[in-house]
């Protein structure tokens, strides 16, 4: 066996150190931030609390008020992950949220909303997309697990081509940019902040408002951790459009497309595109363009 030359040994050591540094950097990139550094609790009069040195944030709702927070940064495109443990037991009438939004009457918005349930019934995961102030693009799902028993990761990927909603890495919804083909506005010009809130949706959240909130169970508390936001934080729209982050080019491969179709077949309970009562003259144009 030939002995290693000093030059080869030195190169191997340098390569090993470089690989270790790259792995450490990758770990930092994947690691969640600190709530003290990354968000501001914007309302709730003490009902929102940062705990565990900044690793955990809880939002509570009682009859007097809910609570919420927003990210310090705003982004134009990116990938946004949040681990959430929802309110256990009878949470009827409550709504916990994780979403992106710009400001103003013509705002853009990308929503995860978790609609509370009567005890023994599953949570409803409500998704929606607004562009230039117009929403009404709801899809709703049941989950394949109990979202109150532990933390699960809910993610939004947003780039100029599409918006993807993920649960624990599984895609549950894709909303594509059909501005050019169907004339439907798509969020491409307004930076958005990350928001979360816990609020009173008693009038509509549970079975269309038929099941009311049992306020004797208050406060209702949802827990958040692991906020990871990776996106373009520049205010220059043109610069963000040239971003080279992985999220700018991410598409669903064949396996992910199959998983998306399985989730939509087995767990979707509402799709605005198929609501003929709501749209008797035909589905919105982006629905037809998707076929």
Residue 268 neighbours by CB under 8 Å, 6+ apart: 139, 140, 141, 172
Average of pLDDT values for 264-281?
Answer: 96
| pLDDT of res. 8 | 44
Average of pLDDT values for 147-164?
Answer: 97
- Does pLDDT of 12 surpass 50? no
Q: Contact at 8 Å (CB) between 224 and 97?
A: no
175-200 pLDDT, tens per residue?
999 999 999 999 999 999 999 999 99
72, HSE (Cβ side, Cα atoms, 13 Å): 9
| pLDDT of res. 230 | 95
Q: Contact at 8 Å (CB) between 123 and 84?
A: no
Give 3-state DSSP helix, strand, coil % of the chain, rounded to 5.
25, 35, 40
- pLDDT-based confidence at residue 289 (cuts at 50, 70, 90): low
81-106 pLDDT, tens per residue?
999 999 999 999 999 999 999 999 99
Radius of gyration of the chain (CA): 22
Closest CA to 111 of 88, 91, 136, 86: 136
How far apart, in whole angstroms, are the C-alpha atoms of residue 259 and residue 249? 19
DSSP state of 219: P
Lowest mean pLDDT: which of 1-10, 42-51, 104-113, 242-251? 1-10
Which residues are identified as catalytic?
A: 109, 113
Angle (CA) 141-147-152 rounded to 5° is 100
| pLDDT of res. 266 | 98
- pLDDT-based confidence at residue 10 (cuts at 50, 70, 90): very low
What token pair was written down for 126?
């409500």
pTM: 0.88
Q: Contact at 8 Å (CB) between 97 and 112?
A: yes
- Does pLDDT of 9 surpass 70? no
| pLDDT of res. 6 | 43
Which of the two residues, 122 and 289, has the higher pLDDT score? 122
- pLDDT-based confidence at residue 227 (cuts at 50, 70, 90): very high
pLDDT, averaged across the chain: 88
How far apart, in whole angstroms, are the C-alpha atoms of residue 223 and residue 175? 27
How far apart, in whole angstroms, are the C-alpha atoms of residue 45 and residue 27? 35
How far apart, in whole angstroms, are the C-alpha atoms of residue 57 and residue 157? 22
Q: In what order do the strands lie in the sheet with 94-101?
A: 39-43, 67-75, 192-200, 94-101, 109-115, 124-130, 139-141, 268-271
Average of pLDDT values for 116-140?
Answer: 93
How far apart, in whole angstroms, are the C-alpha atoms of residue 278 and residue 48? 37
Lowest mean pLDDT: which of 64-68, 91-95, 202-206, 278-282? 202-206
- pLDDT-based confidence at residue 290 (cuts at 50, 70, 90): low
Helix (H) or strand (E) holding 262: helix 254-267
Average of pLDDT values for 162-178?
Answer: 97
């Amino acid at each position: 066996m030939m002995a290693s030359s000093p030059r080869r040994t030195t190169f191997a050591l340098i390569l090993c150190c470089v690989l270790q540094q790259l792995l450490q950097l990758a770990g930092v990139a994947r690691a969640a931030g600190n709530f003290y550094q990354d968000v501001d609790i914007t309302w709730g009069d003490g009902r929102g609390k940062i705990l565990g040195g900044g690793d955990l944030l809880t939002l509570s709702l009682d009859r007097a008020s809910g609570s919420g927070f927003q990210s310090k940064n705003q982004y134009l495109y990116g990938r946004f992950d949040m681990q959430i443990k929802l309110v256990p037991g009878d949470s009827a009438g409550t709504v916990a949220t994780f979403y992106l939004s710009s400001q103003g009457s013509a705002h853009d918005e990308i929503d995860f909303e978790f609609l509370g349930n009567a005890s023994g019934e599953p949570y409803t995961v409500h998704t929606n997309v607004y562009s230039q102030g117009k929403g009404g693009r709801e899809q709703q799902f049941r989950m394949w697990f109990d979202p109150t028993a532990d933390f699960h990761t809910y993610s939004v990927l947003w780039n100029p081509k599409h918006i993807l909603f993920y649960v624990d890495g599984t895609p549950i919804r894709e909303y594509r940019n059909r501005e050019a083909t169907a004339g439907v506005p798509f969020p491409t010009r307004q930076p958005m902040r990350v928001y979360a809130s816990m609020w009173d949706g008693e009038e509509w959240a549970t079975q269309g408002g038929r099941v009311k909130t049992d306020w004797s169970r208050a406060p209702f508390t949802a827990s958040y951790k692991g906020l990871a936001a990776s996106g373009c934080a520049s205010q220059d729209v043109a610069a963000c459009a040239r971003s080279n982050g992985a999220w700018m080019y991410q598409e669903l491969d064949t396996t992910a497309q199959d998983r998306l179709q399985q989730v939509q077949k087995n767990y979707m309970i509402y799709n605005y595109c198929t609501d003929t009562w709501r749209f008797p003259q035909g589905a919105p144009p982006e629905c037809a363009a998707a076929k």
